[in-house]
Amino acid sequence: MELSSGTVSPQERIGASNAQPYAESMALFRRAAQVIPCGIYGHQSPAATLPGASPYYAARAEGCRYWDVDGREYLDFICGYGPIVLGYRHPEVEEVAERQRRDGDTFNHPTARMVELAERLVSLVDFASWAVFGKNGSDVTSWAVRVARESTRRKKILRLSGGYHGIDPWCNHSPAGIIEEDRAHVHTFHWNDLEGFAQLMRRHAGKVACVIVTPYHHPAFGDSILPARGFLKAIEQKCRDEGVVLILDDIRAGFRLHLGGSHRVFGFSPDIICFSKALGNGHPISAALGRKELRVPASRVFLTGSFWNSAVPMAASLKVLDILERDDVPAKLQRSGQRLREGLERLGTEFGKDILGSGPAAVPFYRFNDESNFRQWQRFCAYAMEGEGGVGAFFHPHHNWFLSAAHTDADIDQALEIARVAMQRTLEETI
Amino acid sequence: MTPAAIEHLRCRLFLFAVLPAMDDLLKASEEARALLGDESFSVAFKTRSGLRGAYFLEGETCRFDWGNAAEKADVELFFHSDAQANSTFEGRKAIPPMPTRGISKIGRVKQFQDIAAVLEDFLQPNGDALRDTDFREAFVKTYFGIMLRSLCQLCEHERVSREIFRSGPHGLAQFQLGRDGVPTWLNLVPRRLDWGRGEPPRTADVTVCFNDPAVALHALHDEMDAQAELGLGTLEINGFPPLAEQVNLLMERIELYLPRGKTPAGI
């Protein structure tokens, strides 16, 4: 498609340079579109990535690489959108999971793994005295909000504008299927706007049940923003003063920045913390942990699901936590992420096209510094996915990336070489 | 909003967004031009609530004016209420408007009615019609014109739309039917909203391209699975998707006031 700037879309360029690179993906998607709304829904929808210029379906994975249904290999910097913190199919984790699977997964009762995992998590998180489990982030963020309401007997939820806490009506960004009443008691404030937050607290004085925050702001389609000095601590203090429950949604960054919760990095202390993603290294599990003062309200708020007490993900999580601690994975992710960031920044300087990295190096967001509409960045990411010599780099154009412990220096360097070629091709077509 | 406020907003959309589409229609439709013939005439509508729009038809053009030029129209029709005007525009049973000027030329309003009926048909094409390149371009031009004029009205006169617009994102969105289609663009910047046709004033922040006329028709009838179509490539969005979502959100507001396919057949 010829655009007004004289540039072309990623789809057209990819189509021209390499006929049908994602033919099997497309064939599957055509079938999917007949029987599944959206074909692929949610964050993995092609619509959210690069339709026509990125893989749609995966076939297998190992370490920090995966292969799509067309047999193309990728160095992965999305890690399943976060869950893969140690690398795909980590042998130690899978061995434990397989052992548990042989004994059984879903029973009439929980297993000892549930008790062990709760004990382990409580020992890791400084303020926590209890833990509960779900499958996905939404399970525990929504439950945590209900616990806050039960504890305070108040209605109002204060949350960040542009923040993401899951798919439930109170926090879902989409208007579809939502009625006004679903969000009648949900109010937003802007990241790092302490005065706006204070005003909101004053306006709803005595009515606020909880404030839910992320450890840093990580919107899609936008730079990640770290907290201003004292921002989160001031929110904590205000919550203490007003008897409001402070919930930390650490679904995305949890265990990547600090084993004891990301609040430890940013110097504040919530009342409830929610984890998912990295906890199971791909096994479906989420957890909420809280202060002892919230133990009784937590006991009153109904929580269950057909598979929420499954033993395999809990066994896997126990192993994941052991490895995270043993190998000091957060420090390793920081080093790998920093190597990637420095490499991309060097590349940008070399080509006279600044690449801007924001957020923690282990969970970075990247874009070209001179554009906010992602047009060139989308082409760069499409070329990176297409790759060189049969190996691409899965660089997401609009979402933060994730590093895993499986990324070696050699992997990072290989990704940077792929990025170099992608940068050349991107800039060549712009000239 | 009160029922009266809703009627007022609907009337505003009919007068300021839908009826001005007659200009596009006259350029695109031989049938509409034949109804007008070699003659020229003009009609103005006025409501008790203070809305006023005039339409000067001549050859291939329909010049719209909402200012004092309305006083120069051959015929002026007065509606006692916005609801009366809306019923008339939608072809529902209503007390006819009262001529307040040009009573001797009142018979010519019939021509306007007939052209309006052509506009209604024009805006509800079938898939076969949309496969014709010329028609497709004219249709998209006309349809988007109505949508974008409506959107501008809502962003100024409806609270929720104003809030959506103010909250952003802002930028330049471009729409087209087919990769070679003539673009229609909308520039959303804080406190200002412009739209136009042809090449936009700068590179669009997002380009939405319908590559399949049938998909465009589905979109028009609210029967499109947008994410599936994006995955299939029949719909392309390049650039900043949240801006396209923002425009879509605003366009969805239009339906609350202006049901699809409703044009002023009943004038």
Q: What one-character-per-residue DSSP string does A224-277 give?
A: -BPPPTTHHHHHHHHHHHHTPEEEEE-TTTTTTS-TT-THHHHT---SEEEE-G
CB-based contact, B182 to chain A, within 8 Å: no
Domain ranges (residues) in chain A? 10-88+329-430, 91-326
Look at residue B62 and tell me whether its pLDDT is greater than 50: yes
* pLDDT at site B264: 45
Per-range mean pLDDT, top range of A3-7, A74-78, B72-76: A74-78
DSSP designation for B15: I
Average pLDDT, chain B: 88
- Residue carrying the six token digits 């000067």: B56
- Could you tell me which residues of chain A have a Cβ less than 8 Å from any Cβ in chain B? 1-5, 7, 9-11, 26, 29-30, 32-33, 37-41, 45-48, 51-52, 56, 175, 221, 372-375, 378, 398
Q: What is the pLDDT of residues B197-251, one digit of tens each?
A: 899 999 999 999 998 877 887 787 778 999 999 999 999 999 999 999 999 889 8
CB-based contact, B39 to chain A, within 8 Å: no
Look at residue A328 and tell me whether its pLDDT is greater than 50: yes
Which residues from chain A sit within 8 angstroms of residue B252, using beta carbons?
A: 175
Q: What is the mean predicted confidence (pLDDT) over B105-131? A: 84
Distance from first CA to last CA of chain B, Å, rounded?
A: 26
pLDDT band at A8 (very low <50, low <70, confident <90, very high): low
* pLDDT at site A430: 64
Q: What is the pLDDT of residues A255-288, one digit of tens each?
A: 999 999 999 999 999 999 999 999 999 999 999 9
* pLDDT at site B129: 80
Look at residue A12 and tell me whether its pLDDT is greater than 80: no
Alpha-carbon gap: A68 to the closest alpha carbon of chain B (Å): 16
Average pLDDT, chain A: 94
Q: Give which of A365, A404, A400, A389 is closest to A278, Cα–Cα.
A: A404
* Superfamily of A10-88+329-430 according to CATH: Aspartate Aminotransferase, domain 1 (3.90.1150.10)
Asked if residues A289 and A131 have their Cβ atoms less than 8 Å apart, the reply is yes
Q: What is the pLDDT of residues A74-99, one digit of tens each?
A: 999 999 999 999 999 999 999 999 99
pLDDT band at A244 (very low <50, low <70, confident <90, very high): very high
Q: How far apart are CA B7 and CA A417, in angstroms?
A: 62
Q: Which domains does chain B have, with CATH numbers?
A: 3-122 (3.30.1050.10), 127-257 (3.30.1050.10)
Q: What is the pLDDT of residues A361-371, one digit of tens each?
A: 999 999 999 99
Look at residue A431 and tell me whether its pLDDT is greater than 60: no
* pLDDT at site A34: 96
Alpha-carbon gap: B157 to the closest alpha carbon of chain A (Å): 21
* pLDDT at site B216: 80
**A245-249 and A208-213 strand pairing:** parallel
Q: What is the pLDDT of residues B41-52, one digit of tens each?
A: 899 999 999 999
Asked if residues A266 and A231 have their Cβ atoms less than 8 Å apart, the reply is no
Q: What is the CATH number of domain A91-326?
A: 3.40.640.10
Q: What is the mean predicted confidence (pLDDT) over A220-237? A: 96
Asked if domains A10-88+329-430 and A91-326 share a fold, the reply is no
Phi, psi of A43 (to 5 degrees): -70, -20
* pLDDT at site A16: 46
